Structure 1
Amino acid sequence: MHAFRAMNSNIVTLGLPARCRTKSESWFAFVERNLSRFLPQSELSSLNAANGNPFVASALLYQVVEEADRYYRTTEGLFNPYLGARLERLGYSESFECLGEAKRSEPLLGAGLEGTPCLLDPAMKSIRLRPGASVDLGGIAKGWSAHQLSLMLQREDLPAGAISAGGDIAFWGTPDEGWEVGIGNPNGEGPDLLTLRLQGTMGVATSSAMKRRWADDSGQWHHHLLDPRSGTSSSSDLVQVTLLAPHPVEAEVFAKCVLILGSEAGTRWLEARHPECAAIGMTRNGSLIHCGNLARYRWKGAGSHERIS
């Protein structure tokens, strides 16, 4: 196992030789330098400061924003990468480990953005944000980066491996002993809630309302998973969702959607729209729910497993 810090997260890899470990660290550092909204010199910060003018983007930024926008549209705005300014007004204005105990929050008017927050020009590779829109790539950048790195490494004839970017995991292939994934307690205490034994090429992502939480100066608590319908932190009955999908970015996006919708509506949404996926969630009262096609991903062999959490 190989571990390092990047993108304000623990990055863990399995099955990578030394040369690929070095490439992994360089890749995540490159993505963070360009896509962090907390670095004033990042390309993403320059896009958000463009004041509604067309911004000619690098291939990296354009590809990630284009993918985020595609999920914004296909989820009908339930996944919304354009709420960066709203997160800042709630107090999430700097990298989470730098937040103080109490952050000032500004009054919020209305819910999330409506209409078309972003115009993409594929010919010019330009991005134009409407007034009020500010891109926060957050988790999707981690899932996308893990997936892209996995594709690079597969082209180097690595038959199996795993990359976890803050809990967004890209798996490819299956080692002889299979994969083992621990789902942690959202309270950060005690043993894992359960262990999944998996096989195949897939994505696994966990979204939690119990992490990246902060109190504003009035004592009100917020977390980073905003419900775009209200513009405030999600208040559904789910506090954590782990989602399994054929693609790591799908896992990241759909985990957020299910958590925001809640256990009943989220289950209906996932099973109707994405029957190839599966989800395991924890409610506020501590009960576990599961839905979807978990059998698709379960290990069907015997013996030990390679573990990544």
Structure 2
Amino acid sequence: MFASSDPLANNLPQNKYPPATLSNFYQCENNALININDDEASLNTVNYFGTSVSITLYNVEHKKAKSMLCNALSVIQEYHYLASNYSTYGHVTNIKTINESPAEKHQIDPLLTELIAAGIDWHQRSGGYFNIALSPVIDLWRTHRFACLKGNSQASECSIPSQTELNHAALLTNINDVSLDRVHNTVRMKPGMSIDLGGIAKGWMAEKVYDQLKVDGAEQFIINAGGNIRHLGLHPEGRQFATAVEDPVCKKSNYQLAKCNEPSGQYHEVITGKDITVVSSGNYLRYFVVNGQQYHHLIDPKTLYPKPKGIATTVVLNSHQLYADVISTMLFLMPLQTALDYVNKRDYIEAVWYLNEQGDKVESNKFDSFTGN
């Protein structure tokens, strides 16, 4: 699957930084909170990717720490502007720009070409469970969810898309109708289409931040990009970093269940490793209720509906971390046995599936190598 000749694995774009004339978009001081003390330096921002992003460096010289963190922020900013499908920006042609005029040929940044190309390639690699062109269907579900939540879940405001609406939207989701020129960096689509990089861009960005920190000389750090955990090296105490995976049922219940009163009940796994990525996909954060049925935001391209079974999938990657979001999403959407077979055939990935509110779980063959069980 990931042969050494894979162009996505071996010819990924190098990080680049914008000219000084674009400083309004790429300021460090006003777009993140930076703290530097004796043993660690940290950056926190809520301005990008619709979530919080934090970076903590350990055992870095004070005079280098701020520069490292600001360089990392530049990477976050660059991918935020390129991948956004919510806003356009005057200095860049991004996903929102493309979606507003899909039939027009757009000249795009080579970094965005690589990102879209990876999304296209993963449609085939995932057996169709990952599709960046599913955006028209996702938008339908999102519109109904927002209307329901805005109406405070009143029955009159809560509905799901009709089958006719979904079938019509599905006509605009053929990945082959996305025409990407990977050499000349242009893209155009069938009229009415749109693409969404929400299932790949954040994990991609986190790995590019990781690359930049290593280039700048960081050897011990943690990146938390809205729940995408990426770390390198050992904790300053000499142990491996530990990532506690939140129990999705506690999160979904707003910690009202009895088991959620104790720390041991709030987390269903503690994952340790030296140079790994941990990321989860699930139905417990963004959902709405219609006639007693919950509908979450992860839409199955095969059915055009949210997957009805399963609560969360947590993935641990010891390589190919660039694709962490893609892999966690597709493994959540796949039938369980298909997903298990996929993971167990690949030595760079392990996963655990949280199946139901009773807490039943299924693990891949070597998942316990990361939990100490």
TM category, shorter: 0.7 to 0.9
Q: Which residue does the alignment assign to 1:256?
A: 329
Does residue 19 of structure 1 match 2:77?
Answer: no
Structure 1 residues 254 and 111 mapped into 2: Cα distance closer, same or farther (>3 Å)? farther
What displacement does 1:50 show? Answer: 2.3
TM-score by length of 2: 0.70
Contiguous gaps of at least 5 residues in structure 2? 1-41, 59-64
Does residue 28 of structure 1 match 2:76?
Answer: yes
- Which structure 2 residues correspond to residues 1-309 of structure 1 after superposition, within 5 A? 2-5=43-46, 6-15=48-57, 17-41=65-89, 43-92=94-143, 100=150, 101=152, 102=157, 106=161, 107-109=165-167, 112=170, 113-114=173-174, 116-175=176-235, 176-187=238-249, 188=251, 189=255, 190=260, 191=263, 192-215=266-289, 221-235=294-308, 237-245=309-317, 246-272=319-345, 274-285=346-357, 286-294=359-367, 297=370
Deviations 1:261-302 (A, max 9, x none): 243332123223x243100121124212211433554679xx
What displacement does 1:32 show? Answer: 2.2
Deviations 1:150-188 (A, max 9, x none): 101101111122212111122223342211101002131
For 1:149 and 1:128, the matched residues in 2 are separated by 29
Structure 1 residues 221 and 298 mapped into 2: Cα distance closer, same or farther (>3 Å)? closer
SS at match of 1:51: coil
Structure 1 residues 54 and 251 mapped into 2: Cα distance closer, same or farther (>3 Å)? same
Identity of aligned residues (%): 18
What displacement does 1:233 show? Answer: 1.2
Structure 1 residues 81 and 266 mapped into 2: Cα distance closer, same or farther (>3 Å)? same
SS at match of 2:352: strand
Structure 1 residues 209 and 197 mapped into 2: Cα distance closer, same or farther (>3 Å)? closer
Structure with the higher fraction of residues in helix conformation = 2
Q: Which amino acid aligns with 2:185?
A: K
Contact in 2 for aligned 1:111/1:230 (Cα 8 Å): no
Contact in 2 for aligned 1:238/1:262 (Cα 8 Å): no
What displacement does 1:53 show? Answer: 3.0
CA RMSD of aligned residues (A): 2.9
Structure 1 residues 134 and 78 mapped into 2: Cα distance closer, same or farther (>3 Å)? same
Contact in 1 for aligned 2:132/2:199 (Cα 8 Å): no
Highest RCO, 1 vs 2 (Cα 8 Å, sep ≥ 6): 1
Aligned pair count reads 295
> Relative to structure 2, which stretch is displaced further, 142-151 or 66-75?
66-75
Q: Which residue does the alignment assign to 2:14?
A: none
Larger radius of gyration: 2
SS at match of 1:279: strand
TM-score by length of 1: 0.83
